[in-house]
A = this chain, B = another copy of it.
Amino acid sequence: MVRLLFALTLLFLAVLTAFRPTTHRKDARPNIVLIVADDHGREAVGCYGNSVIKTPHIDRLAAEGTRFTNAFCTTASCSPSRSVLLTGLHNHANGMYGLEHREHHFSSFDTVRTLPVQLEKAGYRTARIGKFHVAPERTYHFQQVLKGGGVNDPVSIGRSPVSMADLCYSLFSESSEKPFFLYFATDDPHRSNAVSAGGSPVFKSDQANRFGNRPGGYPQVHDVFYQPFQVQVPPYLPDTRAARMELAQYYESISRLDQGVERLVALLKETGQYDNTLIVYLSDNGAPFPGSKTTLYEPGMKLPLIVKLPKPQKPGFVQDAMVSWVDLTPTLLDFAGALSDTHSQGRSFKAIVEQEKVTGWDEVYASHSLHEVTMYYPMRVLRERRYKLIFNLAHALPFPMALDLYHSFTWQDVRKTGRTQYGKRTVTAYLNRPRFELYDLQTDPDEVRNLANDPNHRATLKRMQEKLKQFQQQTKDLWVSKWEFE
- CB contacts (< 8 Å) of A403 on chain B: these are 481
Q: A219 within 8 Å of B by Cβ?
A: no
CA distance A105 to B135 in the complex (A): 12
> A244-286 toward B: CB 8 Å interface, digit per residue (1/0)?
0000000000000000000000000000000000000000000
- CB contacts (< 8 Å) of A400 on chain B: these are 485-486
> A85-122 toward B: CB 8 Å interface, digit per residue (1/0)?
00000000001010000010101010000000000000
- CB contacts (< 8 Å) of A396 on chain B: these are 396-398
Are A482 and B374 within 8 A (Cβ)? yes
25 contacts between A and B (CB under 8 A): A95-B103, A95-B105, A97-B105, A97-B373, A103-B109, A103-B478, A372-B478, A373-B478, A374-B378, A374-B479, A374-B481, A374-B482, A376-B376, A376-B394, A394-B394, A394-B397, A396-B397, A397-B397, A397-B486, A398-B485, A398-B486, A400-B485, A400-B486, A401-B485, A403-B481
Q: Which of A97, A374, A394, A400 has the most CB of B within 10 A?
A: A374
CA distance A109 to B109 in the complex (A): 16
Main secondary structure of the interface of A (DSSP, over half): loop
**CB-CB nearest in chain B for A93:** B103
Q: How far is the CB of A363 from chain B (nearest CB, A)?
A: 25
Q: Which residues of A (448-481) have their CB < 8 Å from a CB of B?
A: 478-479, 481
- CB contacts (< 8 Å) of A169 on chain B: these are none
> A384-400 toward B: CB 8 Å interface, digit per residue (1/0)?
00000000001011101
Q: How far is the CB of A460 from chain B (nearest CB, A)?
A: 27
Interface size for chain A: under 10, 10 to 19, 20 to 34, or 35 or more residues?
20 to 34
Q: A406 within 8 Å of B by Cβ?
A: yes
**CB-CB nearest in chain B for A432:** B396
CA distance A144 to B66 in the complex (A): 58
Residues of A within 8 A of B (CB): 95, 97, 103, 105, 107, 109, 372-374, 376, 378, 394, 396-398, 400-401, 403, 406, 478-479, 481-482, 485-486
- CB contacts (< 8 Å) of A406 on chain B: these are 485
Q: How far is the CB of A324 from chain B (nearest CB, A)?
A: 22
Contact with A374, one of B107, B372, B397, B478 (Cβ below 8 angstroms)? B478
CA distance A97 to B370 in the complex (A): 13
CA distance A191 to B373 in the complex (A): 29
Q: How far is the CB of A215 from chain B (nearest CB, A)?
A: 32
- CB contacts (< 8 Å) of A378 on chain B: these are 374
Q: How far is the CB of A411 from chain B (nearest CB, A)?
A: 12
- CB contacts (< 8 Å) of A97 on chain B: these are 105, 373
Q: How far is the CB of A390 from chain B (nearest CB, A)?
A: 18
CA distance A306 to B374 in the complex (A): 35
- CB contacts (< 8 Å) of A103 on chain B: these are 95, 109, 478
- CB contacts (< 8 Å) of A479 on chain B: these are 374
- CB contacts (< 8 Å) of A105 on chain B: these are 95, 97, 107, 109
Q: How far is the CB of A371 from chain B (nearest CB, A)?
A: 12
CA distance A69 to B325 in the complex (A): 55
CA distance A374 to B376 in the complex (A): 9
- CB contacts (< 8 Å) of A394 on chain B: these are 376, 394, 397
CA distance A397 to B109 in the complex (A): 28
CA distance A486 to B485 in the complex (A): 24
- CB contacts (< 8 Å) of A372 on chain B: these are 478
CA distance A400 to B482 in the complex (A): 10
**CB-CB nearest in chain B for A105:** B95
CA distance A397 to B378 in the complex (A): 13
Q: Which of A372, A401, A486 has the most CB of B within 10 A?
A: A486
**CB-CB nearest in chain B for A110:** B105
**CB-CB nearest in chain B for A95:** B105
CA distance A95 to B481 in the complex (A): 25
Q: Which of A95, A109, A376, A396 has the most CB of B within 10 A?
A: A376
- List 10 additional A-B contacts (Cβ < 8 Å) besides A107-B107, A372-B478: A97-B373, A103-B109, A103-B478, A105-B109, A373-B478, A376-B376, A394-B397, A397-B397, A398-B486, A400-B486
CA distance A24 to B109 in the complex (A): 47
CA distance A485 to B373 in the complex (A): 15
CA distance A203 to B479 in the complex (A): 18
**CB-CB nearest in chain B for A393:** B374
